Amino acid sequence: MNIRSNHINGTVLFLVLWLFFAGCQENKRTDLDTPTSGTIHISVDESFKPVIDSEIQVFEALNPKAKIIAEYKSEAACFADLLKDSTRMIIVTRGLTNEEEKYYHEKFSFLPSWSKVANDAIAVIVNNDAPDSIFLMSQIRGILDGSTGDKQLAVFDGLSGTSTARFAIDSILRGKPLDPKKVFAEKNTQDVINYVEKNKNVLGFVGVSWIGNPDDSSQLSFLTKVKIASLECNCPEKTFVKPYQANIMTKRYPLVRGLYYILKENYDGLGSGFANFLTYERGQLIFRRAYLGPAKINFYIRTATLNSEK
């Protein structure tokens, strides 16, 4: 009788413990966010603030139970945030290297996913009264590395860890350092625009997301303060181009870079939902309307012809 009683008591205890832990697991699952609900923090390269603000606004309007809290900072700071538990996703100008994939896989016990979602460009801006707004790439390099006797200076949205400065070193100067006597930094993109507005001999380097959309009233106000320079075309013909959408997509404009998300999520949560939104049609159309180059949908360039009446 005692053996049977002990067996029954053991069975009951097992069932109670199973129900307890199952309930805990169920509660844990319900606490997690879903692709369309919950709250997450992301870190975004500051040079993409206008377009990512638009992406978040539309995503949250479509998903009222979702809240994406974005912090805008330098690219290096975004990668540092990827190691924090509080940061689910970063949006930057490059994906992960093989070494980084290995490191993050060991760190998190899973591999963060990443993908290119758009093509962006760095615009060169000049003062409205500047004597020149057309530049060869050799002139740009000479100003940045100090090899030219030109009195012009260059200003960036920060020199330590920013994607714009990194692009200048890696892709314009091919590894050479920026000349500290010729190149300096303001706090952010808006400060760069304001500085160029007040100084004739300065070139400003900013993400085209800030000034490339003629349908955005705030960006139109920026363009009353400064001019967008034309750069030597990356094409056979000898011409100069601005960072217009078609020139970004065809890479005729020489300072084109990518826009990527890196997602630290090993389940289908809100980060995955937002990443899918950026990748699929609605998110891609927002990039297109912001005059960036969508990376996931086809882009057609048509030749327009004017018909005149005889």
- Per run of 10 residues, the mean pLDDT along the chain (length 310 residues) is 49 45 41 92 96 97 98 96 96 97 95 96 96 94 89 89 94 95 93 95 94 82 91 94 95 96 96 98 95 84 50
Q: 171 burial class (0-12, 13-18, 19+ CB within 10 angstroms)? A: middle
Say how far apart CA 182 and CA 156 lie, in whole Å: 11
Quote the pLDDT of residue 220.
81
* Closest to 42 (Cα-Cα) out of 254, 274, 276, 303: 274
Quote the pLDDT of residue 20.
47
* Closest to 189 (Cα-Cα) out of 18, 105, 74, 67: 74
Q: By the 8 A CB rule, do 245 and 289 touch? A: no
Residue with tokens 């012809």: 305
Query: What are the φ/ψ torsions at residue 155 (nearest 5 degrees)?
Result: -125, 135
Quote the pLDDT of residue 215.
81
Q: By the 8 A CB rule, do 240 and 230 touch? A: yes
What pTM did the predictor assign? 0.84
Q: Classify domain 121-256 by CATH number.
A: 3.40.190.10
Task: Report domain extents, the chain.
Answer: 38-119+257-294, 121-256
Q: Do the first three CATH levels of 38-119+257-294 and 121-256 match, i.e. the same topology?
A: yes
Q: By the 8 A CB rule, do 203 and 130 touch? A: no
Quote the pLDDT of residue 124.
97
Q: By the 8 A CB rule, do 113 and 104 touch? A: no
Find out if CATH 2.60.40.10 is the number for domain 38-119+257-294: no
- Helix, strand, coil share of the chain (percent; to 5): 40, 25, 35
